[in-house]
Structure 1
Amino acid sequence: MLILIAGITGFVGIPCARSAFARGHKVRGLARNIDNLPQDIRDRLEGFETMTSLHDIAAMDRATSGVDAIICSFAALPEIAIESQMMLIRAAERAGVKIFHATSWNYDWTLSPGSHELYDDMRAFSHHVAISSTIKPIYMFTGAITDYYFKRSPYDWDPDTKTFNFHGSSTFPTRYTTAEDIGEYVVEAITAPDAANGGFVRVQSFEASPEDIVRAYNAARGGRATAKLNCLGSLKDAETKLNEGRAKFGKSGFWNYLRYVYQYHIPSRSWDYEPVDVARFPNVKQTSLEEYFRRNPDV
């Protein structure tokens, strides 16, 4: 199978490429800068199309030509997740592609409208595609992406002090999926016999509370480093900070309060789901939290 990965240079696109290669598939990339790809992926690509802008329809048409499936791993930014992804699915229609995995890796964004600015965009995209496209995308719910929490969000994990910040109970479990496991699940989903039927897929790697994170981190480091917890307040405190942020910054300033969206709504179970599709993909070995820390000594 020839798979196009749009946004291949991102932290979801890269593991999707490696998973596809491991299964013997060919991969074509679409992104703004091939230099952001690790050399092991660049060397194996069937081809690469460079996007000169977020609205580069010509590049999308070239990239979708002749492929069997598309994984859209564009960044979860409004102008990309809605506008660029919609242009990509139109290019897929023109190319006759039937299998399309949309940007979607989060908690269940079909629930609790108005609770998360980007979730509203994902829901709007899925609705518009459902009523206007011949393609039936695959959408995957993964809970929190482990690599985002521990590598890209200093508000959650302080890499210098090895401190995990949270609101609410230290024993409340969050659903997590590692980027590596997402790559495995995605390629399994797009190569399944019913992939062209699309639909929602619900998976995870593990569940872990803040206390579980400290225990797993300390065990993985074997005494060489020690994690600790920092409770930032109650769920009510998180809700108050979220409401104050929305009032101060407005929707266009959502990045200023996005951390409180998660820190309030995840433990409030606003978007919770059951990972019922894990059993559908027995070839995916779920990564444990301790294993994740062992594989990522830089965390």
Structure 2
Amino acid sequence: MLILVAGITGFVGIPVAKAALERGYQVRGLARNPDRLPKGLLERLESFETLTGPHDIAALERAVAGVDAVVSTISATPELIMETQVLLLKAAERAGVKIFHASSWNLDWRRSPGTHEVYASLAHFAHHASMTSTIKPIYMFTGAIAEWYFVRSAKDWDRETKTAFYHGDSKFKTRYTTADDIANYVLEAITAPDAAEGGYIRLQSFEASPEDVVEAYNAAREGRAKATHKRLGSVEDAKAKLDEGRAKYTKAEWWNYAWYIYQYHIPLCTWDYEPVDVARFSNVKQTSLEEFFRQNPDV
């Protein structure tokens, strides 16, 4: 099986590529810069296509030629979701590809339209695909990606002070999935007998509150480091910051207030779902929060 991983240099694309190679599949990469791949990964790929820009149709055509499945791990930004990913879908359709996993790893962005600017783009892509394409994409709900919260987002986790920041209740649990678990779930989904039928998949690795984060971190570090959590205000305070941001910035500047969208809506369970497909893909061993911290000693 030859799998195209579009956006292969990203923090979901790299685990997907590695997991696919470990399972014996061939992998083709598509991204702007192969130099962003980890050392040794490029040489293991069947090939790599360089995307010169979001509308590089020629590169997309070359990338999908002869592949059995497309996994789009491109960043969830409006331009890439609604323009590049649509072009990728249409190129895959012309090439006769039947299996297409769309970029979708978030909470259930179909719920409560209008509450999240980028979730709207994800939902609009799904709507557009259903009306215009013969391909039926796979979409996967995973909650928060653990690596984003604990590695990339200093607003959620301070790696220096080992502090988890939040609004609301310290006992409220958020759904998380690790990037490695996402990779394995994706491979289970695209190789399932009904993969070409597409549809929505609901998964998670673990649920954790700020108190759970501290407990798991301290257990994983075995006394070598201590974590803490810090409440920044109530859910209503997060809503006030969100309203202030939306009043101050245009939608094109959505990233300036995006953090408060999550801080307000996740405690309200605005986009929540039940991870019913964990049982369906029981071959994937869920990573626990403590295991995640042990696997990431620099967090």
Does 2:295 correspond to 1:272? no
Does 2:47 correspond to 1:61? no
Match in the other structure for 1:286: 286
Does 2:2 correspond to 1:2? yes
- The residue type equivalent to 1:17 in the other structure is A
The DSSP-based 3-state class of the residue aligned with 1:29 is: strand
Structure 1 segment 181-220 matched on structure 2, within 5 A: 181-220=181-220
Match in the other structure for 2:227: 227
The DSSP-based 3-state class of the residue aligned with 2:4 is: strand
The DSSP-based 3-state class of the residue aligned with 1:232 is: strand
- Cα distance in 1 for partners of 2:253, 2:79 equals 14
Q: TM-score, normalised by structure 2?
A: 0.99
- The residue type equivalent to 1:89 in the other structure is L
Match in the other structure for 1:107: 107
Cα shift at 1:160: 1.1
Does 2:48 correspond to 1:48? yes
Match in the other structure for 1:129: 129
The DSSP-based 3-state class of the residue aligned with 2:90 is: helix
- The residue type equivalent to 2:269 in the other structure is R
- Cα distance in 2 for partners of 1:41, 1:281 equals 27
Match in the other structure for 1:90: 90
- The residue type equivalent to 1:269 in the other structure is C
Cα shift at 1:74: 0.3
Cα shift at 1:142: 0.0
Cα shift at 1:155: 0.6
> How big is the alpha-carbon RMSD for the aligned residues of Structure 1 and Structure 2?
0.6
Match in the other structure for 1:169: 169
- The residue type equivalent to 1:213 in the other structure is V
- Cα distance in 1 for partners of 2:191, 2:277 equals 15
Structure 2 unmatched ranges of 5 or more? none
- Cα distance in 1 for partners of 2:12, 2:241 equals 30
Cα shift at 1:167: 0.2
Match in the other structure for 2:138: 138
Cα shift at 1:201: 0.3
String of CA shifts for 1:218-238, please: whole Å, max 9, x gaps: 010111111111101001111
The DSSP-based 3-state class of the residue aligned with 1:150 is: helix
Q: TM-score, normalised by structure 1?
A: 0.99
- Cα distance in 1 for partners of 2:42, 2:283 equals 26
String of CA shifts for 1:24-58, please: whole Å, max 9, x gaps: 11000000011111123212100000001111100
- Cα distance in 1 for partners of 2:58, 2:68 equals 19
String of CA shifts for 1:227-261, please: whole Å, max 9, x gaps: 11110100111111111110111211111111100
- Cα distance in 2 for partners of 1:108, 1:281 equals 19
The DSSP-based 3-state class of the residue aligned with 2:149 is: helix
String of CA shifts for 1:182-214, please: whole Å, max 9, x gaps: 000001100000000000000000000000000
- The residue type equivalent to 2:157 in the other structure is W
Cα shift at 1:23: 1.3
Match in the other structure for 2:151: 151
- The residue type equivalent to 1:167 in the other structure is H
- Cα distance in 1 for partners of 2:82, 2:155 equals 26
Structure 1 unmatched ranges of 5 or more? none
- The residue type equivalent to 1:72 in the other structure is S
- Cα distance in 1 for partners of 2:41, 2:182 equals 17
- Cα distance in 1 for partners of 2:143, 2:278 equals 13
Aligned-residue identity in percent: 66
The DSSP-based 3-state class of the residue aligned with 1:43 is: helix
The DSSP-based 3-state class of the residue aligned with 2:245 is: helix
- The residue type equivalent to 1:222 in the other structure is E
